């Protein structure tokens, strides 16, 4: 039996392999830290402590994780149908427009809990709309979805800059952003959640979006593994030709899946636009769409895995910020590099250690069988 097909115990595939990949990425990051004359152990100590050592740290970590849960779910949703959505970044960006318009329209009149459902809807609709054209092009014209979604990231960025500079910026303001939302357009923080664990959130912007994200995880799990539509999505992902032959409508399933994927990405905007910045700003997505690719892959496209992977990236973000604060030699850009390495080893090189693991665990299992 070749190494590629030897079955491995579940915990090796779902736990040990991602862990080894992660450790490799961190080792290389450690080497880079050594290269610039700093102590990597000290840096990682600060990173972990900064991310998990206080209520505020945890609050920031979960705040970042919320972004990555949404984008991770977005990538995973499409991935189950065999579609590679590189456009979560752009869909989240345009989704921000949807929720900002709702907030701007309602914040003066109603409390946040009335605004919120409309904002969720607005964000999801705008995100889905931005995924629609690439989806339609894939389903009806055969254009490669990877390429069209990349293009749409840039078209979306240009559109949003135009709108923020020329349309949404209040008269007389200098920076390209909307006016600040009133409390009716702000999502409340989860102080009470932290208080339950006897801790304080402080200024960390962890907000209701985190709960919406968890609800979406359950929703995606149910949709993909417990409904007829989810079955057709997975069938399409396994073999488009077999699925079509079995009577699953290709174009409709592709478009619907991408709309859901774009909608999930769009909802990411709630967390930043209404949960922390309280206004729509240029480039607020800040790469979360691309991190979603890594989150989805590390989480093996399963909502539970996605939550764990998203928290991991949240730790990197918050801890990294703390490192750059305590060790000025290490700039925030170190996080970007570590992210890149994690994406490389956990995503592109995800089976790097498989042959070695097969040698250790594969045989044992065969002997048992």
Partner 1 sequence: MIDIIIGMLGSTVRLSIPLIFTALAGLFSERSGIFDIGLEGKMLASAFAAAVVAYYTGSPWLGLLGGIGISIVFSIVHGYASITARGNQIVSGVALNFVAAGLTVVLGNAWFRQGGRTPQLENTARFTGIQLPGADAARDMGFLGKFYSDVISGNNILVYLAFLTVPIVWWVVYKTRFGLRLRAVGENPGAVDTAGISVTWLRYRAVIIAGFLCGFAGTYLSIAQSASFINNMSAGKGYIALAALIFAKWKPVPVMLACLLFGFLDALSNFMQGKSMPFIGEVPVQIFQAMPYILTCVLLAGFIGTARPPKAGGVPYTKER
Examine residue 37 and tell whether it contacts partner 1 (CB under 8 A).
yes
Examine residue 271 and tell whether it contacts partner 1 (CB under 8 A).
no
The nearer residue to partner 1, 44 or 118, going by C-beta atoms, is 44
Examine residue 193 and tell whether it contacts partner 1 (CB under 8 A).
no
Of 260, 330, 357, 358, which one interacts with partner 1 (CB under 8 A)?
A: 330
Query: Rounded to an integer, what distance in angstroms lies between the CA atom of residue 86 and that of residue 354?
Result: 26
The nearer residue to partner 1, 110 or 161, going by C-beta atoms, is 161
Tokens found for residue 168 = 């949404």
Cβ burial 81-116 (10 Å sphere, 16+ → b, else e): bbbebbbbbbbbbbbbbbbbbbbbebbeeeebeebb
Binding to partner 1 in span 219-248, by CB under 8 A: none
Of 110, 214, 286, 344, which one interacts with partner 1 (CB under 8 A)?
A: 344
Query: Rounded to an integer, what distance in angstroms lies between the CA atom of residue 21 and that of residue 349?
Result: 8
Closest approach of partner 1 to the CB of residue 165, in Å: 8
Q: Of the ranges 109-117, 172-180, 219-227, 331-339, which one interacts with partner 1 (CB under 8 A)?
A: 331-339
Of 8, 62, 69, 86, which one interacts with partner 1 (CB under 8 A)?
A: 86
Examine residue 329 and tell whether it contacts partner 1 (CB under 8 A).
yes
Q: Of the ranges 35-43, 46-54, 109-117, 274-282, which one interacts with partner 1 (CB under 8 A)?
A: 35-43
Closest approach of partner 1 to the CB of residue 324, in Å: 10
> Phi/psi at 189 (nearest 5 deg)?
-80, 165
The residue among 270, 264, 237, 235 whose CA lies nearest residue 91 is 264
**321-326, long-range: CB < 8 A, 24+ apart:** 321/50, 321/60, 322/46, 322/47, 322/49, 322/50, 322/51, 322/57, 323/43, 323/46, 323/47, 323/50, 325/50, 326/46, 326/50
Examine residue 22 and tell whether it contacts partner 1 (CB under 8 A).
no
CB contact set of 305 (below 8 Å; sequence gap of 6+): 14, 298, 299
Examine residue 313 and tell whether it contacts partner 1 (CB under 8 A).
no
Examine residue 31 and tell whether it contacts partner 1 (CB under 8 A).
no
Q: Of the ranges 63-71, 210-218, 227-235, 347-355, which one interacts with partner 1 (CB under 8 A)?
A: 347-355
330 in Cβ contact with 36 (< 8 Å)? yes
Examine residue 150 and tell whether it contacts partner 1 (CB under 8 A).
yes
Of 99, 272, 334, 357, which one interacts with partner 1 (CB under 8 A)?
A: 334
Of 229, 300, 340, 365, which one interacts with partner 1 (CB under 8 A)?
A: 340
Examine residue 154 and tell whether it contacts partner 1 (CB under 8 A).
yes
Q: How far are the Cα atoms of 252, 254, 257, 304 from residue 246, in angstroms, in the given order?
A: 14, 15, 18, 30
Q: How far are the Cα atoms of 250, 261, 270, 357 from residue 92, in angstroms, in the given order?
A: 25, 10, 9, 38
Q: From residue 282 to residue 311, what is the string marking binding to partner 1 with x (rule CB under 8 A)?
A: -----x--x--xx--x--------------
Query: Rounded to an integer, what distance in angstroms lies between the CA atom of residue 206 and that of residue 2?
Result: 47
Cβ burial 249-268 (10 Å sphere, 16+ → b, else e): ebeebbbbbbbbbbbbbbbb
Closest approach of partner 1 to the CB of residue 142, in Å: 8
Query: Rounded to an integer, what distance in angstroms lies between the CA atom of residue 67 and that of residue 365?
Result: 39
Examine residue 26 and tell whether it contacts partner 1 (CB under 8 A).
no
Closest approach of partner 1 to the CB of residue 340, in Å: 3
The nearer residue to partner 1, 142 or 203, going by C-beta atoms, is 142
Examine residue 43 and tell whether it contacts partner 1 (CB under 8 A).
no
159 in Cβ contact with 282 (< 8 Å)? no
Which residues of this chain interact with partner 1, rule CB under 8 A?
Answer: 2, 32, 35-37, 84, 86, 133, 137, 141-144, 146-148, 150-152, 154-155, 158-159, 161-162, 166, 287, 290, 293-294, 297, 329-331, 333-341, 343-344, 347-352
């Amino acid at each position: 039996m070749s190494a590629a097909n030897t079955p491995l115990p579940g915990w090796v595939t779902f736990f040990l392999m991602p862990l080894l990949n992660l450790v490799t990425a961190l080792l290389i990051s450690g080497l880079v830290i050594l290269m610039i004359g700093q102590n990597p152990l000290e840096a990682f100590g600060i990173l972990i402590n900064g991310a998990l050592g206080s209520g505020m740290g945890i609050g920031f970590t979960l705040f970042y994780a919320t972004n990555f849960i949404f984008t991770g779910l977005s990538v995973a949703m499409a991935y189950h149908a065999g579609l590679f959505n590189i456009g979560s970044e752009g869909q989240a960006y345009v989704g921000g427009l949807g929720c900002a318009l709702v907030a701007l329209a309602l914040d003066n009149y109603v409390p946040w809990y009335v605004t919120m459902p409309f904002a969720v809807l607005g964000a999801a609709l705008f995100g889905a709309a931005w995924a629609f054209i690439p989806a339609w092009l894939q389903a009806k014209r055969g254009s490669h979805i990877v390429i069209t979604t990349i293009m749409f990231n840039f078209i979306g960025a240009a559109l949003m800059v135009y709108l923020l500079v020329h349309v949404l910026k209040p008269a007389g303001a200098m920076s390209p952003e909307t006016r600040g939302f009133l409390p009716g357009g702000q999502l409340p923080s989860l102080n009470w959640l932290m208080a339950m664990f006897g801790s304080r959130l402080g200024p960390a912007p962890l907000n209701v979006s985190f709960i919406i994200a968890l609800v979406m995880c359950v929703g995606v799990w149910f949709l993909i593994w417990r409904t007829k539509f989810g079955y057709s999505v997975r069938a399409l992902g396994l073999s488009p030709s077999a699925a079509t032959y079995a009577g699953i409508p290709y174009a409709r399933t592709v478009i619907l899946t991408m709309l859901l994927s774009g909608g999930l990405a769009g909802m990411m905007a709630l967390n930043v636009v209404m949960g922390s910045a309280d206004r729509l700003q240029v480039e607020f997505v800040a790469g979360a769409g691309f991190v979603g690719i890594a989150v989805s892959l590390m989480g093996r496209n399963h909502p539970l895995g996605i939550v764990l992977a998203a928290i991991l990236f949240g730790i990197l973000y918050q801890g990294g910020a703390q490192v750059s604060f305590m060790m000025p030699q290490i700039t925030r850009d170190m996080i970007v590099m570590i992210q890149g390495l994690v994406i490389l080893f956990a995503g592109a090189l995800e089976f790097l250690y498989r042959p070695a693991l097969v040698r250790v665990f594969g045989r044992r299992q065969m002997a048992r069988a």
